[in-house]
Amino acid sequence: MFVRVKRSNNRKTASIQIVEGSRDKATGKVKQIVIKHIGSASSEEEIAKLVELGEFIKFEIEADHQQNLFVPEILVEMKSESKAMQKEDESDYKIDDVRKLSAESLSITGIGEIYGICFVFLLTIIWLFRVCRFFFPE
């Protein structure tokens, strides 16, 4: 479930809706079902307010189906703060030339390291076995 802003080509207005995506079993295509129509707006300020209202209503609808840790008011506030932080982060990390990128530090952890250590250990054992056979033939 998400809040969709649908802009019309003919008019300068945008329609704000709460929509849920579902897959049609017969065709296998994804369809969006409108759960609730929030309203229409023409300016960016009105659209932002209606989107925030839509987020609040969406969290209330979801709270009816399941227990939430936070109340919907706090969830809407947290989401708007994260969007603002995301916009700030996007402006900080603009890449002019991809060829100038370099890695400052590289740390690889996980299964690759484990297999690498096992492989080195196995090679060491094989080498020791061959050395022992060379120095102590039967």
Residue scoring higher pLDDT (103 or 17): 17
Look at residue 92 in the predicted model and tell me its pLDDT. Answer: 59
Q: Could you tell me if 20 and 81 lie in one domain?
A: yes
- Whole-model pTM: value is 0.50
Is beta strand 2-7 parallel, antiparallel or unpaired with respect to 14-23?
A: antiparallel
Domain housing 65: 2-90
DSSP string, 18-70: EEEEEE-TTT--EEEEEEEEEEEESSHHHHHHHHHHHHHHHHHHHHHHS--SS
Asked, for residue 8, whether it belongs to a domain, the answer is yes
Q: Could you tell me if 128 and 66 lie in one domain?
A: no
Q: Could you tell me if 18 and 68 lie in one domain?
A: yes
Q: Could you tell me if 116 and 84 lie in one domain?
A: no
Asked, for residue 100, whether it belongs to a domain, the answer is no
CA atoms within 13 A on the CB side of 71: 2
Q: Are 54 and 16 in contact (CB under 8 A)?
A: yes
Q: What percent of the chain has pLDDT over 70?
A: 83
Q: How many separate domains does the chain show?
A: 2
Asked, for residue 120, whether it belongs to a domain, the answer is yes
Asked, for residue 95, whether it belongs to a domain, the answer is no
Q: Are 37 and 67 in contact (CB under 8 A)?
A: no
Q: Which residues pair with 39 in a beta bridge?
A: 16
Q: What is the band of 107 on the pLDDT scale with cuts at 50, 70, 90? A: low
Q: Could you tell me if 12 and 71 lie in one domain?
A: yes
Q: Could you tell me if 9 and 77 lie in one domain?
A: yes
Look at residue 59 in the predicted model and tell me its pLDDT. Answer: 80
Say yes or no to pLDDT of 76 above 70: yes
What residue type is 27 in one-letter code?
T
